[in-house]
Amino acid sequence: MKKMRGFNLVLVLLLIAALTLAGCGQKPAPAPAPAPAPAPAPEPPAAPAKSRLTMASGWVTGVYYPISGAMSRIAYEKMPNISLSVESSGASVANAKLIGTGDADLAILQNDIAYYAFHGEKMFDKPIPNIRGLFMLYPEPCQLVVRKDSGINSPADLKGKRVAVGPLGSGTEANAAQILEAYDIKFDDIKVERLTAQESADFLKDGRIDAAFFTVGIGAAVIADLATTHDIALLTVDDAHAAKLSAKYPFYSKTVIPEGVYKGVPATQTVTVLAMVAARAELHEDVMYDFVKGIFENLNDIHRAHEMGKRVTLDSALDGMPLELHPGAARYFKEKGKM
Cα–Cα distance, 131 to 113 (Å, whole number): 11
Domains present along the chain, CATH in parentheses: 51-138+275-335 (3.40.190.10), 141-273 (3.40.190.10)
Q: What pLDDT does residue 42 have?
A: 61
Strand partners, 141: 272
Distance between the two ends of the chain, CA-based, in angstroms?
A: 105
pLDDT at residue 9, as a whole number: 45
Let me know: does 82 contact 51? Beta carbons within 8 Å: yes
* Residue 232: φ, ψ to 5°: -120, 165
For 19, how many CA atoms within 13 A lie in the half-sphere containing its CB? 6
If pLDDT is split at 50, 70 and 90, which confidence band does 24 have? very low
For the segment 41-66, the average pLDDT, to the nearest whole number, is 80
Let me know the angle formed at the C-alpha of 299 by 312 and 333, rounded to the nearest 5 degrees.
70
pLDDT of 96 over the 70 cut: yes
Residue 55 banded pLDDT, cuts 50, 70, 90: very high
What pLDDT was estimated at residue 11? 44
State residue 14's pLDDT score: 45
Calculate mean pLDDT across residues 119-146. Answer: 95
Using CA atoms in the order 113, 212, 264, 229, what is the torsion angle rounded to 10 degrees?
120
231 secondary structure, DSSP code = -
Is residue 182 a contact partner of residue 240, using CB atoms and an 8 Å limit?
no
DSSP 31-82: PPPPPPPPPPPPPPPPPPSSEEEEEE---TTSSHHHHHHHHHHHHHHH-TTE
Side chain identity, residue 120: G
> What 3-state DSSP class applies to 8?
helix
Q: Which region among 41-45, 112-116, 193-197, 281-285 has the lowest average model confidence (pLDDT)?
A: 41-45
pLDDT, residue 22, reads 45
| Helix, strand, coil abundance in the chain, percent, nearest 5 | 40, 20, 40
| Spatial distance between the Cα atoms of 84 and 52, rounded to a whole number of angstroms | 6
Q: What is the mean pLDDT of residues 259-270?
A: 96
pLDDT higher at 75 or 90: 75
pLDDT digits (tens, 9 = 90+) for 267-306: 999 999 999 999 999 999 999 999 999 999 999 999 999 9
Which pLDDT value is given to residue 17? 47
Q: What angle do CA 313, 251, 201 make, to 5 degrees?
A: 85
DSSP string, 249-270: -TT-EEEEEPTTSSTT---EEE
Please indicate whether residue 335 or residue 319 has the higher confidence score (pLDDT). Answer: 335
* Three-state DSSP class for residue 325: strand
What length is written for the chain? 339
Q: Alpha carbon 313 to chain centroid distance? A: 18
State the pLDDT at residue 40: 59
Give the pLDDT band of residue 63 (cuts 50, 70, 90): confident
DSSP 8-class letter at 190:
S
Judged against a pLDDT cut of 50, whether residue 130 lies above it is answered with: yes
Higher per-residue pLDDT: 105 or 170: 105
Average pLDDT over residues 13-22: 46
Would you state the torsion angle of the CA atoms of residues 141, 145, 151, 153, taken in this order, to the nearest 10 degrees? 0
Please state which of the ranges 14-18, 268-272, 289-293, 322-326 shows the lowest mean pLDDT: 14-18
> What's the pLDDT at 90?
75
Q: What whole-number distance in Å separates Cα of residue 189 and Cα of residue 207?
A: 20
Sorting pLDDT into bands at 50, 70 and 90, what band is 60?
Answer: confident
- Across the chain, what does the average pLDDT equal? 88
Axis crossing angle, helix 221-229 with helix 197-206, rounded to the nearest 10:
10
Q: Is pLDDT above 60 for 23?
A: no
Rounded to whole angstroms, the Cα distance separating 246 from 91 reads: 23
Determine the residue type at 15.
Answer: L
pLDDT of residue 88: 87
Q: What is the distance between the alpha carbons of residues 40 and 279, in angstroms, rounded to a whole number?
A: 31
pLDDT of residue 41: 55
How confident is residue 217, by pLDDT bands cut at 50, 70 and 90? confident
Average pLDDT score over residue span 209-228: 94
Question: 133-166 in b/e burial notation, b at 16+ Cβ within 10 A?
Answer: bbbbbbbbbbbbbbbeebebeebebbeebbbbbb
Q: Of residues 320 and 233, which shows the higher confidence score?
A: 233
